[in-house]
Structure 1
Amino acid sequence: MTPKLFIRRASRLYRRLTTTKNIPSPDQLLVIDNFAVLHKIRNTMPAKSPNITCTAAARLKVLGGQIRACRKSQRISAIAAAEAAAMSRVTLHRIEKGEPAVTMGAYANAMVVLGLNFGLLPQAEQSPPPPVLNRGEWIPARIRLQEYPQLKLLAWQLQGVESLSPLEAWNIYDRNRRHLDEQGLTEHERHLINALQLAFGGESRHV
């Protein structure tokens, strides 16, 4: 029996009792009233919250906050959004709080009426693979001029200096780039310049 049909029959019984000489007792009226609102109580009482992890609970709160923010940004009232999603205002409020007891279908309805896209991300998008490190582009803590011929030539004015910091070496390479003999670069020194470029030079410009 549907709630609408049930309420109709209960109302008919109530009128029959009140129009006869036998005045119904308060208990009879209370039973009829309870039957009339029973389906409403069943639909509005919150379900028992499932056991979920702290991480899942935190993500539900974030999702609920995003749903609320989207509704607010579109200037949609909570009543209008709830009616469009075929749910009560109370349920929508619980969704926007991120309560785990609300069904997944209710969350989906609230997102659909607001035009929000949702779905599972591929594993590759969730966890990007770590970059592959090239040992040839590691930067030493001190750069010995003896090991990098072009750098030694560019730093000819530095008398008595045997090594530089990475930043000092990059400044010399960068200031004197027009004097750099790229054809004469060793592979070892080429890797150093590329690594310094990535670390200090902004846009990558491999040599």
Structure 2
Amino acid sequence: MPTPSPATPENCTALLQALGAQIRSQRKALRLSATVTAEAAGVSRVTLHRIEKGEPSVTMGAWCNTLAALGMVLQAHGGSEVPLAGAAPDLTGWIPARVPLADYPQLRALAWQVHGTDTLTPAEALGIYERNARHLDMQAMPAHEQALLEALQLALSPNVATRATDAV
């Protein structure tokens, strides 16, 4: 078994810079502004900028909040371990800062009247689901979309009795 290289300040800085670049790439891929992302993570825009640059002086909590706001997960592993490439994190109960229509086929079909954007706020997505509950096909809905709908209902719905999943 190969011995892992010792952690040096240079190695840690390089790792944080790489993680910061991944965070920035994810934010850009989700088409989120720095301000919106910072608000969702509960950090300032300046702190988000420092995270994206990979500055080691930012608290671990700020890093983790930013990762969570972007739907990312931080995993630690030993130097000799290789992270599982296909392993997906458990996103049960997770709500993204913006809901991409392309990832949720039934939401995309229900949001046919929405023009000029590829993403919705969680409140907008829940509103579309609730107004069009009669058109939902829960058997055909992918598991990840059902999980999103349930998370939105639990977090944002004022009246749990009118949940779309209960109507089916």
TM-score normalised by L of structure 1:
0.35
TM-score normalised by L of structure 2:
0.42
Which structure dedicates a bigger proportion of its chain to helix?
Answer: 1
Where relative contact order (Cα < 8 A, 6+ residues apart) is larger, the structure is 2
